[in-house]
Structure 1
Amino acid sequence: MSEFEQVVKEGAQNVGKKFRRLLMWALLAGILFFLGYIFIYCNFTVSKGTTGGTLTNITYKGILFKTHEGNLNTGTINLNPNIAPDKMTQAMNGWNFSVPDNHVAQKLDQLQGQRVKLFYRKKVKAMPWQGKTNYLVYDVQKL
């Protein structure tokens, strides 16, 4: 092999190594950008508000991520015959919510069966460790 052919071969190997390294960094940057986007998107608050009613239950459940889940009977029953049965059942069953904070969950556990006012934030999509619903309760007040 001539000296020229050997220089070309070594140059091609160096270019291949640099290309693979650049491709690896670009892939890593793309993955980090995607994960950051998902994290920001899922933590975006759509609305913030309060709702009141009788606290019917608060549970701690989950397989991989254990979260506090609750149900509030808002006392709303819609008797409009134009509403689909599943919507009617949802209105009669109450309002489901998640509680990411253990301190608030303990307060709710003590207030079970009583009338309460819940302060919540609605997320676009709650992360699995935050709760099963998009409504995240961050404070409670006894009525």
Structure 2
Amino acid sequence: MKSKKPIYITIGILILILGGFIYYRYYFVFGEGVKAGELNYVVKKGYMFKTYEGKLIQSGIRSRQTGNIQSNEFEFSVSDEAIAQKMMLNSGKMFELHYKEYVNALPWRGYSPYVVDSIISIK
């Protein structure tokens, strides 16, 4: 009988590759940053996983077409319920938000790959 060792090694390598792919696709923090603007809304929504989703209107009137005005919108998810509640109570104010950018979104983390994890300031 032949040894089953090569089969176990191959399966082990495939599991490691699959685990690395899933980590990169859904858990790897691709970037971090700060966005500032007027908080438009924060809502709790979802069918199975209730997550907090929001939109920040950034200042600026730059447009690609001459003569048009365009607002820059930043759509995000909120990871912490306490942060989301604080944002809901101060809707319409100017916020500076720290966020993490993931490659893809997860249903229980929110609809957006941008996840706000802290509030830097409220004005």
Please report the TM-score for the alignment, with normalisation by the length of structure 1: 0.67
Letter aligned with residue 142 of structure 1: I
User: Which residue of structure 2 lines up, in the alignment, with residue 60 of structure 1?
Assistant: 44
With over 3 angstroms needed to count, the CA separation of the structure-2 counterparts of 1:64 and 1:39, relative to structure 1, is farther
What secondary structure is seen at the aligned counterpart in 2 of 1:128? coil
Indicate the residue corresponding to 2:64 in structure 1.
Answer: 80
Question: What does residue 7 of structure 1 align with?
Answer: none
Distance 2:91 2:61 in 1: 21
1:100 aligns with 2:84: no
Name the structure where strand makes up a greater proportion of residues.
Answer: 2
Q: Which runs of no fewer than 5 residues in structure 2 stay unpaired?
A: none
Contact 2:37 2:96 in 1 (8 A): yes
Tell me if 1:44 matches 2:19: no
Partner residue of 1:133? 112
Considering only aligned residues, what root-mean-square deviation do their CA atoms show, in Å? 2.8
- Counting aligned pairs with the same residue, the percent is 30
CA apart distance, 1:38: 0.8
Regions of 4+ moved over 3 Å = 26-33
SS of the residue aligned with 1:108? helix
Cα deviations across residues 30-70 of structure 1 (Å, max 9, x unaligned)? 56852553134311111111111110100001112211000
Which has the larger helix fraction?
1
Contact residue 98 and residue 136 of structure 1 kept, 8 A: yes
Q: State the secondary structure of the residue aligned to 2:71.
A: helix
Structure number with bigger Rg: 1
- Aligned-partner SS, 1:112: coil
- Call closer, same or farther: CA 1:59–1:109 in 2, change over 3 Å: same
Is 1:75–1:94's contact at 8 Å kept on the other side of the alignment?
A: no
Count of residues in correspondence between the two structures: 120
- Report the counterpart of residue 96 of structure 2 in structure 1: 117
Write out aligned runs for 1:23-42 (5 A): 30=14, 34-35=18-19, 37-42=21-26
Q: Is the 8 A contact 1:48 1:122 kept in 2?
A: yes
Q: Distance in 2 between matches of 1:110 and 1:99?
A: 14
